[in-house]
Amino acid sequence: MIISNYAGETLLTTTGSSLSKIDLHEANLTNANLTGVNLTEANLTKADLTGANLMEADLTGAIMPDGRTWEEYQADPLAGICEEPEARARALSAWGHHTWQDCPMYTAYGWRSVRDAPETKRLLVSTFVALFDSRLFE
């Protein structure tokens, strides 16, 4: 696996499945296959997780792209995205649906992709979608 930053510079090349305690601050993890990877205590601050596959990944103690720990993130994955009570209620009503026609982001706001979200929320939305679609909240 090659992990790069937004400028395309290689940050890390690995063949292992453990990235425990690694600093992936601002890493471009777009479409990365991180299935089953150990990301315990990894720093993912401002990392782009758009399209990343994180199924069965271990995020214990990881710092998420928005700066919260994984444990804090799990407690409220909609923080910063669905601040309005009505939008939050709509998103929660679609919990468990994983297509862009019925997922929480579409149900809350009508967004059909991450690009439809306001630019200020895209990192939050792409993180939510990657984690949600990897079924890490179930």
Which SS3 state, helix, strand or coil, does residue 38 take? strand
Task: Give dist(CA 77, CA 30) in Å, integer.
Answer: 19
Q: For the chain, give every domain's residue range.
A: 2-133
Cβ atoms within 10 Å of 77's Cβ, excluding its own? 21
- Per DSSP, 47 falls in state -
pLDDT score for 92: 96
Burial of 86 (0-12, 13-18, 19+ CB in 10 A): exposed
Q: Phi and psi dihedrals of 110, rounded to 5?
A: 80, 10
Strands 27-28 and 2-5, sheet pairing: antiparallel
Average pLDDT over residues 37-45: 91
Task: Give dist(CA 21, CA 24) in Å, integer.
Answer: 9
pLDDT score for 1: 60
Position 22 confidence tier, pLDDT thresholds 50, 70, 90: confident
Average pLDDT over residues 2-21: 64
Q: pLDDT tens, 66-114? A: 999 999 999 999 999 999 999 999 999 999 998 888 999 999 999 999 9
pTM: 0.85
- CA dist 11 → 2, 45, 63, 71, 133 (Å): 8, 14, 18, 26, 26
Q: Are 106 and 100 contacting, i.e. CB atoms less than 8 angstroms apart?
A: yes
